[in-house]
Amino acid sequence: MPILTESAKDIAIPEMFPVMQLFPDVKIKDVYSTAKAEIKKKQLNNLIRPGKSVAVLVGSRGIASLKYVVKAVIEMLINMGVKPFIVPAMGSHGGGVAKEQKKIIESYGITEEYLGIPICSSMETTIIGETADKIPIHIDKFADRADYIVPVVRIKAHTDFSGPIESGLCKMLSIGIGKHNGCSRLHQEGFSNFSKLIPNAASVVLNKKNVPFGVAIIENAHENVHTICAVPGSDILSKEPSLLSLSKSLMPRLYFDHIDVLIVEQIGKDITGAGMDPNITGRTTSGSVQNFSGPSISRIVVLDLTEKTHNNAVGVGNADFITKKLYDKIDLISTYSNAIASGNPGSANIPVVLDSEREAVLAAIQTCPGIDHNNAKIVKIKDTLHLVNIEISENLLPYCRSRKNFYVPEH
């Protein structure tokens, strides 16, 4: 029995045209040297005693030039006379399996061969204390045994809550370092409490363990490194809000008022924790994003998963239609364990599955309310992280030509 009606098959999918969205591209040219200089400038060696061990925390995100920043941190620590090692700090990602978490960071070029130090990956945790609300705080067993803990992380807007501290140093020092046990426990409190919970949980780690400093990375809209900031541990809670404000000011967006159909070529955990960033689409599984200033979007079609998401399809629940190609790649164990641990089962809901991109787009157009099906406004993006080069339907060309935020090549 055919899924699409005959009338849907007669819809004319418009020709798509490439355009560029214009964002500032102020960036660091030599990330490795800048990271080393930043650590040296802050004289962070005064916070560390030689001969000690250091757990360097690395997460699961696809951060620009991450391996060069991590290498710089490792080399500076070795110059300080300490013994660093890497701990994957990514909560429940990788299906909550230690070897899979190691594979994730290795896929970013962070390997034992490249860095010359071990990667210690485990899902075992130690409870080191509790918040004032009696919430136990878990941390990775290897990090717990280390003399020092140094997080290396990107600062950015979170996908499910807003506050002065969102994704960054404090989140890694609470959810990331907590592995599956700690991640699951904190998510039981609900995203509505995260603006207070994350800094409170991180405070327990900062008070109980020795965190001499953290390294914060901020990207611009072109996914280039804009800022590298080494933050002394004692300043993390006070400094992170200003770093988040800077990060938010540099975020990309879709410069449209309304889109009938948004086609997303790929989603994945390396793009954003939500697979597809609600700060770009305006969608979460619990409804619209509060104070969202981007376009209204009637339907979202997702075509594929990124390679580096390792078949974790969390975020697929925010799409309306997906292709069978994507569906066939989904690892249910990895996806479900992440969705359950994060307290967000809706993020793993499977949308309508259609055989091809064409069928998915036709279905999306047909289900857009109140439009001329042969004149749908369509935008196609690679993913919610790469928003400079996009494609638009012909009927959006006049809109883009009339605005300074776009460059429209001669067609």
Domain final residue, candidates 230, 250, 270: 250
Q: Please report which helix (H) or strand (E) contains residue 105, including its range.
A: helix 98-106
Residues 228 and 212 in one domain: yes
Domain final residue, candidates 224, 250, 276: 250
Q: Please report which helix (H) or strand (E) contains residue 76, including its range.
A: helix 66-79
- Tell me the CB-side half-sphere exposure of residue 321, using CA atoms within 13 A: 25
Residues 91 and 182 in one domain: yes
How many domains does one find in the chain?
Answer: 2
Is the confidence at residue 371, as pLDDT, over 50? yes
Under the banding of pLDDT at 50, 70 and 90, the label for residue 344 is confident
**CA 263 – CA 373 distance, rounded (Å):** 16
Is the confidence at residue 287, as pLDDT, over 80? no
Output the domain CATH number for residue 153. Answer: 3.40.50.11440
**Other beta carbons less than 10 A from residue 117's beta carbon:** 16
Is the confidence at residue 64, as pLDDT, over 90? no
Note the pLDDT of residue 144. 97
pLDDT tens track for 184-202:
999 898 888 999 999 999 9
Stretch among 215-229, 286-300, 310-324, 338-352 having the lowest mean pLDDT = 286-300
**Other beta carbons less than 10 A from residue 188's beta carbon:** 11
Residues 10 and 77 in one domain: no
Mean pLDDT, residues 253-274: 94
Strand order of the β-sheet with 83-88 is 83-88, 53-58, 148-154, 213-219, 225-232
In-domain check, residue 167:
yes
Under the banding of pLDDT at 50, 70 and 90, the label for residue 1 is very low
Residues 282 and 141 in one domain: no
Q: Residue 268 is part of which domain span?
A: 6-23+252-406
Note the pLDDT of residue 411. 67
Please check whether residue 139 is in contact with residue 178, taking contact to mean a CB–CB distance below 8 angstroms: yes
Residues 35 and 154 in one domain: yes
In-domain check, residue 306:
yes
DSSP for 118-173, please give it: -B-----EEEEEE-TT--EEEEEHHHHHSSEEEEEEE-B--SS--SSS-BSHHHII
The fraction of the chain above a pLDDT of 90, given in percent, is: 79
Residues 207 and 297 in one domain: no
